[in-house]
Amino acid sequence: MLQPGRNSNPAQFNYPGLDLERLAAHLSRHGLTLDRSIDPKRFSAGYGNMNFLLQIEDKPLVLRRPPLGPVPRGANDMAREYRILSGLHPALPLVPKGEHFCDDPSVIGAPFLLMEYRPGLVIGSDISAETLNGWGGQEPIGLVVGARIIDVLSQLHAVDPDACGLGTLGRPADFATRTLDGWRKRAHLVWDSTAPDDLVVLLSWLSNHPPEAANPPTLIHNDFKLDNIILDPETLTPRTLIDWDMGTLGNPLYDLAVLLSYWTDAADPEPMHQLRQMPTARHGFPSREDAARLYAQASGRILNDFAFYRVLATLRIAVVFQQLYRRFEQGGTDDAEFARFDELSRGLLRFGVQVARGQYY
């Protein structure tokens, strides 16, 4: 976990996307003091928002801002995230407290927020040997962590949006139709006139299989996955749920489907293993189908029309990785990891077709 460290030369610690001089001046105008003697630290995980650990008013806080380069419309919305943190923290203590929001892009080049820092363990594409060796539970580590992921999702969907001031956060009416329309438009934009055949098949399937009924809307995270849950390093109990810039009101089954779009099974085709998002193909994690059953049991919801949301979420993740590839192609990032995302996104489209045909859950 990140820990602040003393800095004998504050001027050398300016990062791209984080102008410390302008930030310090802005915070001072709002009665906050940035401690320049403490080195800022950048969190390295993820392909989206930039996250920095700073020392402000004698306590560590996390600064979040959008990534450098072009940002897709509606993505990386710091104002939305700050509103959600402010409303949801008292109702769901797993959500960190929002501390400050700035909508002036002249300060560090984009809107940003400050939020409570909760140190802990973040599990990404694999579980470290240290964590595996230190696990003393009676059940396989993946079985326990998988069940806890589902429990957190169920807790979120049980929150009353009106009671925490978030009842007007989104437009839940016609959620499925609007969400499909949005991802169809993004797909056509990112692939231009070169739309893969599998994209055409997926969009046709989704248009021909609309859900028959809608669950009552709940708060949904919209990018719920394991590395957005910070865990206690020893007990692996959840400490906090982060990354709220796409949160909204919508069908909770879509949130479950988004989670399962990252959830690789051992028998999956290669693109799902190349996704490298969650270590669910090993370590005793439940299968996708078993995870869905756990959610149904925990939430009391019937998974009617879930195939539609599974396929839609797979389309979504394919489009997201193609957007990331285009950012790399257009010079928005020099991270060589992004170079493989064109092939990955096309493989995910093929997998989506297989899910639609019932070959995979």
134-180 pLDDT tens trace = 999 999 999 999 999 999 999 999 999 999 999 999 889 899 999 99
In this model, does residue 69 exceed pLDDT 80? no
Q: Is 11's pLDDT higher than 70?
A: no
What DSSP string describes 78-127? HHHHHHHHHHHTTT-TTSPPEEEEE--TTTTSS-EEEEE----B---SS-
Please report which confidence band the pLDDT of residue 8 belongs to, taking 50, 70 and 90 as the band edges.
Answer: very low
pLDDT-derived band of residue 2, with 50, 70 and 90 as boundaries?
low
Both 90 and 171 in one domain: the answer is no
List, for residues 289-336, the tens digit of each pLDDT value: 999 999 999 999 999 899 999 999 999 999 999 999 998 988 888 889
Q: Which domain holds residue 47?
A: 5-116
Per the prediction, the chain carries an average pLDDT of 93
Whether residues 61 and 201 fall in one domain:
no
Query: Exposed (0-12), middle (13-18) or buried (19+): which is 201, by Cβ within 10 Å?
Result: middle
Of the candidates 79, 133, 84, 150, the residue with the CA atom closest to the CA atom of residue 110: 79
Mean predicted confidence (pLDDT) in 232-244: 96
User: Do both 96 and 193 map to the same domain?
Assistant: no
Mean pLDDT, residues 227-249: 96
Does the pLDDT at position 241 exceed 80?
yes
Kindly state whether residues 209 and 298 are assigned to the same domain.
yes
Task: Identify whether residues 144 and 64 lie together within a single domain.
Answer: no
Q: Could you tell me if 66 and 173 lie in one domain?
A: no
User: Could you tell me if 154 and 234 lie in one domain?
Assistant: yes
Q: Is the pLDDT of residue 16 over 50?
A: yes
pLDDT recorded at residue 47: 67
In sequence order, which residues have a C-beta less than 8 Å from that of residue 321 and are 6 or more positions away?
341, 344, 345, 348
Confidence of residue 39 (pLDDT cuts 50, 70, 90): confident
Confidence bin at 74 (pLDDT 50/70/90): low
Q: What is the pLDDT of residues 95-107, one digit of tens each?
A: 999 999 999 999 9
Please report, for the domain that includes residue 338, its CATH number: 3.90.1200.10
Q: What angle do CA 101, 103, 107 make, to 5 degrees?
A: 95
Query: Do residues 111 and 139 share a domain?
Result: no
Q: Is residue 123 part of a domain?
A: no
Tell me the mean pLDDT in the region 259-282: 98
| 13 and 137 co-located in one domain | no
**Same domain, residue pair 149 and 276:** yes
Q: How many domains does the chain have?
A: 2
pTM for the whole thing? 0.92
CATH code of the domain in which 70 resides: 3.30.200.20
Q: Please report whether residue 332 resides in a domain.
A: yes
pLDDT for residue 70 is more than 60:
yes
Do 257 and 315 share a domain, yes or no? yes
In tens, the pLDDT along 177-231 reads: 999 999 999 999 999 878 999 999 999 999 999 998 778 899 999 999 999 999 9
Whether residue 121 lies inside any domain: the answer is: no
